Structure 1
Amino acid sequence: MSIHGVLTIARLELLQRVRGARWVVVLVAWVCVIAGVTGLSWLGLRKAGDEQLGSTVYDVVLFFVLGLGMLVMPALTSTSVNGDRDQGVLATLQTTLLSAADIVLGKLLAAWLIALAFLATALPFLLFGYVKGGVDLLGALRSLVVIVVVLAVVCALGLMFSTLTARPVGSAVLTYLTVAGLCFLTTIVFGMLAFLVSGEEERQVYGVDYATEGSVSDTQPRCTTRTEVRETVHTERIWPVLALNPFAIVADAAPQGDDEAEGMSGFTPLRWISQGARLAKAGPQETIDECWTGDAMPADSLTDGADDAGPVWPFGIAFLVLIGGGATAVAVQRTRTPVRRLPSGTRIA
C-alpha cells in the first residue's frame, strides 16, 4: 500500500462523481431539508428562552443530520467495487501497480470526503443553534467528531458489501439493511432481551407507606425505607446492545444542555436517547426513590443514576471502529488478485 496510490484512486473517484449532476441535486435537497428543519425548529421555539432555544435547535438539527446521513451515505460506496467490475474498470486498475489496499482505501477515502462535504453544508445550521446559546462547545465538537467516525464506518460497510456481491443492487440492499439493523434492530433486540433479565426481587423503597401513614391527603407524610418485592429489569447486563446504535452513540456524545433549567421538557430527541442509554448502563438503582411530595413525579427522578453511569459513546465508537476496520479488511481481501473464484455471471474485464 502507498499513500500515492490511495490518493490517486481517491482523486479519480471524486472526479468521476463530480462529473455527474445527481450528487449536486442530492446535495441541494440535503441543504433544503436541513434548512427547513432548522427554520421550523426556530419558529416553534422562538417564544422560549434563548438558552433553551439554542440547545434544542442544535439537538434537533444534529438528529436530522444523522438520520439523513444514514440514508445518503450507504449509496456512496455500496456499488463502488461491483459497479466498476461491471463496467470493466476494476480489472484495468488491478493490472496496474496499485495494490488491493490502494484501491479499497482510495475509494473509502473519496466516499468519506464526500460525506464530510455533506456534513460541512450542515455546519451553518448547527452553528446557528450554538450561537443562540445553551450549547457546550466541547460537547458540540465531540458530537461532530463522533458523527464523522460513524459516517466513515457506514461507508466502509457499503464498500465491503460491494466486494461481496456481484450485483450493485444486492450490495445496496445489504448495506441499507445493515444500517437499518444498527439503527433499529439493536433497539428491538434490547427490548426483547429485557424480558430475559427481568424478574421479581426484593428492593429497598424510600417513600411514603400509606398503609401506616394514613390517606394520601395527609399534609406532611413521612418518607421511610422499606423492603418490597418489585419487578426489576437488569439492563446493566444488556446495555452493550444499545452501544452499537449510531443514534445512541451520537446522542450520548452530543451536548446534554442544562438539565436544571430544561429538565426533560421540549423536543430534544438526542438528549432523550442519551438519558435512556445511560440509564440502561446504570441498571436498577440500589434504592427506589418514591418520596414525592407533590402531585407529579419530579423531573429529576426520571434521570437518577444516568450521570453516575458514565458515557456510553466511547464504547460505541470502539465497537463501530472494529466493525469498520473488519469491513475494510474484508473488502481488501476480496479485491486482491489473482481471483481464485468468481461468482456466476461476474465479468473480469
Structure 2
Amino acid sequence: MGGNAFRGKLSTALFPRMSPHTYQALRARLLPLVQSQFESVAVPREAPEKVDHGDLDFVVTRPRPGTSPSTVQKVLRATHSIPQEGNRTSNYAIPANAFDLGAEWERILFLHSYGDTGMIFGVLARMAGLSLNVHGLKVRLLIPRTTFHLTSSLQDILAFYGLSKSRWNEAFETQRDVFEWVAMSPLFDAQRIVPSDRTHDRGRKARGARSMFQNFLDFAQERAVAASLDGNASPSAKPRITQDDALRFFGKEAERAALLRASAIKEHARAKFSGSFMEKCTGMQGLSVKWLMDAIRERLVEGYVRQRGVTQGQPTDQTTGPFTVSVWELALFEMSKADVASFALQVKAEMEAAGTFEAKWAEENARKAQKQMPK
C-alpha cells in the first residue's frame, strides 16, 4: 500500500519502500506503542523472501480506555492520518526520522546475539550499580530510589565497558571467544561474579535452560579459582567500577546533582508541610487546615516571585527526572520547621482577621445543602 493511501494528500514519492532491516526495526519500535492503545495487537506474517515493504500492518482489537484515532496518531508520531470508523483500515504516515531505528535495532540485536549476551552484560552492569536492557544503560539509584538514564548508544555502552566494537563486528567462533572478549572489560571481576562454589552451584539447575549464561558462570569460576591459586584473591586486587565512575564517564554528574537536589526539596516539603504538622502547630482540623495550606502555598509563591524577580506567567514548576518541583516547594526549602510554623500562624491570623474561614465555611455549607436538595 505504502503512499497509495495518502495519494490525495501527499506525493507518493514521499513514501519509499522499506528494506527488511528497516521494516523489522520499525515493527520492534512501534509494536509496544500500539499495544499501549489496544489490548490485542498482531503483525500479519509477510510473504517469504520479500525484498522490500511498502508499509507496516497492525491488526488490532479491544481499544483501551481513552484510545482514539488522535491518541494513536500521537503515540506513533504520525504527521498525517486517515482514520476510519468501525472494523476498517486506518492509515498513519510517520516521518522517517521520527524514531532512531538504526541505533535501537543495533542495540537490541547486540543484546540478543549469541543467546545470552544481554544477561552477561547485565551481570557486569549490576556489579557497578547499573542496569542494562534493550532501552539502554541506567544507574540504579538508592537515594532517591529511581533509575537514571545514561545512554542508549551501543557505541557508548561498549566504550564504557572498555570493549572493542570492531572486535564484536568480526564475530566469534566459540562461546569461549565471547567470554575472553568480555573478560577484557574493567567491569569483569570473576571473584564477584562467582563468589563461592556454594552460591555458584545453588542456582545451576534453575539456569539450566540458559546454557550460554551457565557456561559464562563456569568460565568466571574458572578465572576466580585461577586467581586464588595465584594469590590474587583479595577483594582489592581489581579496582571496582562504581556509579560515580559511570556518571563521570557519561558527563551526568550535574544531572545527578540536580536530581538529588530535587529529591531533597520534595522530601523537605513532605516533612515540614504535612497536614498533621499544620494541625499540631495551629490547633486547626479538617477543611480549615486544607484552606490554610492552600493560602500558605499562594503566599510562598508570591514571596518567591517577588524576591527572585521571576516574571509572572513563567513556568512555576521545574521537572528534574521523575520529580516536579513547584515554586512553593522551592520557597519552603529555605525555611526551617520553626519558620514554617511561625509563617503558618501568621497566615492563619490574617485569614481569621479577614473572615476568610467564615466565608469558606458558608460556601461549603451551601454546597452541601445544594447537593442534598431533591432533584
Report the TM-score range of the alignment, normalised by the length of the smaller protein. under 0.3
* TM-score normalised by structure 1 residue count: 0.20
Q: Which has the higher contact order (CA 8 A, sep 6+)?
A: 1
